[in-house]
Amino acid sequence: MKPNKLTRKTGSYLLVLAIAAGLFACLQTASAQRCQDSYIFRPEKGNLDFGKGRGWRTCSGFFFVLQADGILALFDRKGNAIWSLATYIRADTLSVQSDGNVVLYKKGHPVWSTGTDNNKGAYFVIQGDGNLVVYSKHGRVLWSSDTGGI
């Protein structure tokens, strides 16, 4: 059967609709994964390592990122930096370690840490209130950025 003008036109519309539906599904998935109330990092089987450019946005608007220039920073809802390491501390890896420590590394060498090592089972949280916290496995605060509620 030879396609006529109507079937070609209908087929084109169906193709456009299928592409649009696929894009819509992708956008829905991306927006659903865009933010969380809080991010909890529990390195149970080895360290969790993140490179430059990796960031997390809470649904309340806070953004924690290891910037492309190697500076670790936390931004408020308006995009203002409310916490960062001094500009001379630059890193290529953020590591949430299984010993409870959160460490910045540059070329494999530590340049900053929360100082919370020797706390197996501890975990790191980017909270929805803008606070960065390392908790012990029992929920006790080991380290905090003291930026909650800013």
**pLDDT tens for residues 2-11?**
555 544 554 4
C-alpha separations of 33 from 20, 27, 64, 100, 104 in Å: 20, 10, 15, 26, 26
Q: Which two tokens stand for residue 128?
A: 């929805």
Residue 68 has pLDDT above 70, yes or no: yes
Residue 110 has pLDDT above 50, yes or no: yes
What pLDDT is recorded for position 15? 36
Residue 45 has pLDDT above 70, yes or no: yes
- Sorting pLDDT into bands at 50, 70 and 90, what band is 1? low
- The CATH number, out of the four listed (3.30.300.30, 3.40.50.970, 2.90.10.10, 3.30.750.24), of the domain defined by the range 35-144: 2.90.10.10
Q: What average pLDDT does the segment 124-139 reach?
A: 96
Instruction: Name the H helices within 1-150.
Output: 5-33
What pLDDT is recorded for position 75? 96
Between β-strands 93-96 and 48-51, what pairing exists: parallel, antiparallel or unpaired? Answer: antiparallel
Residue 81 has pLDDT above 60, yes or no: yes
Backbone angles phi, psi at 8, to 5 degrees: -65, -45
C-alpha separations of 50 from 5, 6, 38, 106 in Å: 54, 53, 17, 12
Compute how many other C-beta atoms are within 10 angstroms of the C-beta atom of residue 22: 10
